[in-house]
Amino acid sequence: MPSAEISTESPSTRVETPVDVLRRVFGYDSFRGSQAEIIEHVAGGGDALVLMPTGGGKSLCYQIPALLRPGVGVVISPLIALMQDQVDALRNLGVRAGFLNSTQDFEQRREVEDAFLANELDLLYLAPERLRVEATVRLLERGEVALFAIDEAHCVSQWGHDFRPDYLALSELHERWPDVPRIALTATATEATHTEIAQRLNLGEAKHFVASFDRPNIQYRIVPKSGAQKQLLDLIRAEHPGDAGIVYCLSRASVEKTAQFLSDNGIPAVPYHAGLDARTRAKNQSRFLREDGLTVVATIAFGMGIDKPDVRFVAHLDLPKSVEGYYQETGRAGRDGQPSTAWLAYGLQDVVQQRKMIDLSEGDQAHRRKLGTHLDAMLALCETISCRRVQLLNYFGQTGQPCGNCDTCLLPPESWDGTIPAQKLLSTVLRLDRERDQRFGAGQVIDILLGKKTEKITQHRHDQLTVYGIGTDLSEQTWRGVVRQLLAQGLLAVEGDFGTLALTPASGEVLGRTREVKLRREPERAARTSSTGTGTKTRKPAIEMPAEAAPIFEALRAWRASAAKEQGVPAYVIFHDATLRQIAAESPSSLEKLGTISGVGENKLAKYGQEILDTLESLN
């Protein structure tokens, strides 16, 4: 990735208060939540550990203190592929920023190093592995460091989903620079991970700031899987035509097939996974960041730190391995605060596959138990009959009220007494094991319960079992739901390479009639709405504008696209949609009035103000 030229032009004289910097540089009038308190604390030299949801404004918590304090703010980030865009966005605001990583050649690195030593930078971005290089440490010791910001701090957690060994060495920052404040930030941390971050980064004495993890603009929906690709296509066509989105799949093959399926059906889509060559991955990621309305289909290798604000939907075609992973991935939707969708298609095979992957995973028994605990929490979220948002917040140690904007709130499911069906199914698994010394997958067990006359039933004489045909009171789909939920509750297990069903110690409680089994019934009304779930297109954007302003908004988007293409940066680096909506609604007639729009800072007003006014004038 080429390094853009470093601007050595001094910024405006630095102001004294954080809110003045917020207005002048970023174009906003007030802070959100605990931002002001965090910024005051770090600017004053204090250490901080910040847990704040994606889109909550974490970056301002270190960017503004870096602008207020003497020296250069050093940001440690694992997001090498995105550093260029992060730096471009800051330079567009008039902030002097640079980065050092493995994508640069010697001359590019030296240019940035010289700017750092000359105090001609406000912010310097480093990959964590750079701090393992002695030359980088010596460079920092020769310059003046304003603060250290450790972004994506959950990467230090060895039990986490994004563990990065290089993060463990960051605990040494305090030893080498004891007087330089440190701020660690993450959007994904349970109470256990929170504690681990503090311990491993030597932040025990830091002030902790924990914001609500709630993302009220995201509508969480989990639907029964029934032809997931077609369900996804229906979702995009019905609710998100022309929108940007991310689709997550478990395997590379599924990524490729889904991207091709969407493209064949008129939805612009590109794949992203570790099996693609680096050039193709970079190209596809760049297209996603720079183009409107593109969908990227990816494995979990994609997306950490993606700063694209207008991702309108995140879809999962396979079950995530943990609630942390699910929360972080869905958090890439709606960073601009506008209504967005987090959609997951989930079925029996997902549970079987994940259980099998845990059994076959490397590591000791403790590691497998930890993976099992993560999966159990994810399954509990999928099977809950209460508000999904409340369940998510509870997982992260927070409380909430039913949101009215998730599928279980909009179309509440029912629970039903599934004790007898559970006994029938477990009895079938037991008899296959004891009487025939056989184990089979869910399909064969369900066929036995339904009394089907298949070749496999006849071949193994399963029609002679006493349980043959005792489950005809339920449909095949319902039985699959029973198996899925018994697996989720630990009353049934998956064993071996072929995913055969087996009893667990808890199965005996059900068979012995000492344990009641409650199951989740999908709302019958769902079948009459859509296979995509309970979505609604009536949700209003956070920033509304009158109908007559819509053509103005589209003209501003067209201008922005042209400006972004000319500069080679993502469109959101110029302005967010929310800013363009407000401009379209208020139609300012002067630079002074344009400067009052949220998101129009001093540098952007000078750089783009007249072009915007000319665009508005051309529409009159």
Q: What DSSP line would sit under 74-101, residue for residue?
A: EEE-S-GGGHHHHHHHHHHTT--EEEE-
pLDDT tens digits along 334-372: 988 889 999 999 988 888 888 888 877 877 788 888 888
The pLDDT-based confidence of 97 (bands split at 50, 70, 90) is very high
Q: Distance between CA 610 and CA 272 in Å, rounded? A: 39
Position 8 scores a pLDDT of 44
Q: Distance between CA 530 and CA 304 in Å, rounded? A: 31
Residue 509 reports pLDDT greater than 50? yes
Position 7 scores a pLDDT of 43
Closest among 80, 79, 78, 49 to 62, alpha carbons compared: 49
Residue 100 reports pLDDT greater than 80? yes
Q: Note whether 18-210 and 218-346+384-411 share their fold.
A: yes
Position 161 scores a pLDDT of 53
The mean pLDDT of 256-276, rounded to a whole number, is 95
Q: Distance between CA 319 and CA 228 in Å, rounded? A: 12
Measured CA distances, 396 to 52, 76, 369, 392 (Å): 12, 25, 19, 7
Among 3.10.28.10, 3.40.50.300, 3.40.190.10, 1.10.150.670, what is the CATH number of 218-346+384-411? Answer: 3.40.50.300
Measured CA distances, 373 to 22, 197, 346, 490 (Å): 42, 20, 18, 11
Position 532 scores a pLDDT of 60
In terms of pLDDT, which residue wins out, 104 or 272?
Answer: 272
Token pair in block for residue 348 = 């029996």
CATH code for the domain defined by 415-529: 1.10.10.10
Percentage of residues of the chain with pLDDT beyond 70? 92
The pLDDT-based confidence of 54 (bands split at 50, 70, 90) is confident
Position 497 scores a pLDDT of 67
Query: 3-state class of 366 per DSSP?
Result: helix
Position 9 scores a pLDDT of 45
Position 524 scores a pLDDT of 53
Percentage of residues of the chain with pLDDT beyond 90? 59
pLDDT tens digits along 450-494: 999 999 999 999 999 999 999 999 999 899 989 989 988 889 988
CATH code for the domain defined by 547-618: 1.10.150.80
Q: Distance between CA 338 and CA 259 in Å, rounded? A: 25
The pLDDT-based confidence of 530 (bands split at 50, 70, 90) is very low
Residue 431 reports pLDDT greater than 50? yes
Would you list the domain boundaries of the chain?
A: 18-210, 218-346+384-411, 415-529, 547-618
Highest mean pLDDT among 13-22, 111-120, 128-137, 561-570: 111-120
Residue 22 reports pLDDT greater than 60? yes
Position 531 scores a pLDDT of 54
Q: HEC profile for 308-365?
A: CCCEEEEEECCCCCCHHHHHHHHCCCCCCCCCEEEEEEECHHHHHHHHHHHHCCCCCH
Q: For residue 247, what are the β-bridge partners? A: 297, 315
Token pair in block for residue 602 = 């001093």
Query: For 24-33, 46-55, 80-89, 402-411, which range has the lowest pLDDT when averaged over its residues?
Result: 80-89
Token pair in block for residue 382 = 């999928």
Q: Distance between CA 61 and CA 150 in Å, rounded? A: 11
Highest mean pLDDT among 183-197, 446-460, 520-534: 446-460
Residue 117 reports pLDDT greater than 90? yes
Tell me the backbone φ, ψ of residue 341, rounded to 5 degrees.
Answer: -120, 135
Position 221 scores a pLDDT of 97
Judge: domain 18-210, CATH 3.30.70.100: no
Enumerate residues 6+ apart whose C-beta is below 8 A from 260. Answer: none
Token pair in block for residue 131 = 């701090």
Q: Which residue has the tokens 């174009």?
A: 27
Residue 518 reports pLDDT greater than 60? yes
pTM of the model: 0.82
